[in-house]
Amino acid sequence: MERPGPGEDSAEPVDVLIIGGGPAGATAAALLAGRGTQVLLLEKDRHPRFHIGESLLPRNVALFERLGVLEQVAAIGVLKPAAEFVSDEHGAAVAFPFSLARDARDRFAFQVPRAAFDQVLFANAAARGARTLQQCRAVSLRPAPPGGRALVHAVAAGAERLAFAPRFVLDASGRDTFLAGRLGLREPAARHASAAVYAHYRGAEFRTGEREGCISIHLARDGWFWMIPLPDGVMSVGFVAHPTLFKGRESSMAAFLAAQIEASPSVRARMRAAERISAVTATGNYSYAARTSWGEGYMMIGDAFAFLDPIFSSGVLFAMMAGEMGAAVAETWLADPRAGRALARRTERRLRRGMAALSWLITRINDPVLRDMFLSANNRFGMRDGLISLLAGDFERPLATRGPEFAFKAAYRMLSGLNRLGLRLHPDGQLRRAPGGLLAAGS
């Protein structure tokens, strides 16, 4: 790679250098520094800064406790007891309370303003002893030779050029994919092709009663919406669909989002009195993964390694899980590179298994058969409770959820066959002939 700026002789030595101060990087930095490792954390922006991904999962709670930030997160967030799915086609809604998850340990999560949330995690890393540099962007990296040090160049505020010589690098650069992009490892997830457009609103209709604080996933004709309640009466609203729908638009992104809201009866009803209070932001090529997550003296964690369609709110949890696992890899590598390589291989397998558990659902979310199953919420063979476990963040599929998962997939295959014969599963759990003849089931 290009090596601008100071040379190797003037590079500052450091044990672990982390690129990116979001949830993955801040988690890894806090854990490593808290155990006495010398850590340097680089963040290209300055906290607080806007980010999307505001809905967390119950499995985050244990991580917050291990990091010592649970009370701070609770203070800035909205309690999230469940995920709600709403279908325009069915004219129905169903909630999946986290308290019903099999082997439920944490029965709630939070919805958080990401600027404040990321700042809490970043400040915690500094408080635990990590050295942090904000407005400092990594611009090049020469990987470490076996037993040696990498060479990382960065540009700080005021265009000051810096050089560091870390023994290990954790790439937590998020969707910038610092290493995966430079090493040619990033690959789009073809079956997950999606794009998103989103904004913040005030005056949208909030849920009350048992569903107060829920994230609402509105299943629309051409894609799906998230509606995430945040503090101070703010609602995060986003629309996700195949990129071709975005490319075919004939208006601005703001007008496009407004038109999609208007086209969804369930979302339109909740947005009648809403006023947009932020810019409209769009992003494409939503899902991708690197061919490998690690190499000699480095590992990619969080979105720097892979990102999935956000329908099941997995982003922050995957990032923090990867941050914790990446910290263990770095610590092990410093003590014994051979053992570090073995742990890196196992860690990548664990992360890929977790992503695969969600990918099966994500690739079928626009399939009428899967949507029928979500809206019926059938608990035969524990299918509903097993699904809730997955929605709560049990991505590694413990034994308690494997039976229900197998039953859910078997039911999907059976219903797909019936769907080809013109039968649909209705929210009341009954099979009825679909109006208009045969329907095509998804793959």
User: Residue 335: which CATH number?
Assistant: 3.50.50.60
Average pLDDT score over residue span 116-132:
98
Check whether residue 149 and residue 117 sit in a common domain: yes
Check whether residue 296 and residue 270 sit in a common domain: no
Percent share of the chain, pLDDT over 70? 93
- How much is the pLDDT for 8? 67
Closest CA to 178 of 323, 299, 330: 299
Dihedral, CA of residue 190, residue 184, residue 346 and residue 305, to nearest 10? -60
Cβ neighbours, 10 Å, residue 229: 23
Check whether residue 158 and residue 202 sit in a common domain: no
- The sign of the dihedral angle between the CA atoms of 443, 363, 404, 440 is negative
Cβ neighbours, 10 Å, residue 259: 12
- How much is the pLDDT for 2? 43
Cβ neighbours, 10 Å, residue 440: 10
Check whether residue 241 and residue 336 sit in a common domain: no
Average pLDDT score over residue span 25-31:
98
Check whether residue 198 and residue 228 sit in a common domain: yes
Q: Where are the beta strands (DSSP E) in 274-407?
A: 275-276, 281-283, 288-290, 294-295, 298-300, 306-307
Residue 102 lies in a domain: no
Task: Average the pLDDT over each of 128-137, 190-199, 412-421, 425-434 and give the range with the smallest value.
Answer: 425-434
- How much is the pLDDT for 107? 86
Check whether residue 120 and residue 179 sit in a common domain: yes
CA dist 406 and 412 (Å) reads 10
Check whether residue 262 and residue 295 sit in a common domain: no
User: Residue 250: which CATH number?
Assistant: 3.30.9.100
From residue 82, alpha-carbon distances to 100, 139, 215, 265 in Å are: 10, 41, 7, 22
Domain boundary among 357, 390, 405: 357
Q: Is 257 left (phi over 0), alpha (psi -120 to 50) or beta?
A: alpha
Residue 343 lies in a domain: yes
Question: 286 — phi, psi (to 5°)?
Answer: -65, -35
Which residues have a Cβ under 8 Å from the Cβ of 224 and sit 6 or more positions away?
217, 218, 239, 240, 241, 311, 365, 366
Contact 5, 163 (CB under 8 A): yes
Give how far the C-alpha of residue 189 lies from the chain's centroid of Cα atoms, to the nearest Å. Answer: 15
- The sign of the dihedral angle between the CA atoms of 371, 373, 376, 379 is negative
Check whether residue 41 and residue 134 sit in a common domain: yes
Reported as a single tens digit per residue, the pLDDT across 191-213 is 667 889 999 999 999 999 999 99
Single-letter residue type at 345: R
CA dist 353 and 396 (Å) reads 7
**Angle between the 59-67 and 315-335 helix axes, to the nearest 10 degrees?**
50
**Cα-based angle 366, 367, 373 (whole degrees, multiple of 5):** 110
Domain boundary among 357, 380, 408: 357
How deeply is 160 buried, as exposed, middle or buried, from its count of CB atoms within 10 A (0-12, 13-18, 19+)? exposed
Judged against a pLDDT cut of 60, whether residue 436 lies above it is answered with no
Query: Alpha-carbon Rg of the chain, whole angstroms?
Result: 22
218-222, 268-272, 310-314, 410-414: range with highest mean pLDDT: 268-272
User: Between residues 56 and 435, which one has the greater pLDDT?
Assistant: 56
Contact 333, 347 (CB under 8 A): no
Check whether residue 133 and residue 202 sit in a common domain: no
Range of the domain at 125: 8-77+112-188+287-357
Reported as a single tens digit per residue, the pLDDT across 386-398 is 888 888 887 765 5
Reported as a single tens digit per residue, the pLDDT across 256-299 is 999 999 999 999 999 999 999 999 999 876 688 999 999 999 99
> How many structural domains does the chain have?
3
Question: 366 — phi, psi (to 5°)?
Answer: -95, 5
Question: 394 — phi, psi (to 5°)?
Answer: -80, 65
Element (H, E) at 371: helix 368-376
Contact 41, 18 (CB under 8 A): yes
Check whether residue 278 and residue 169 sit in a common domain: no
Check whether residue 180 and residue 304 sit in a common domain: yes
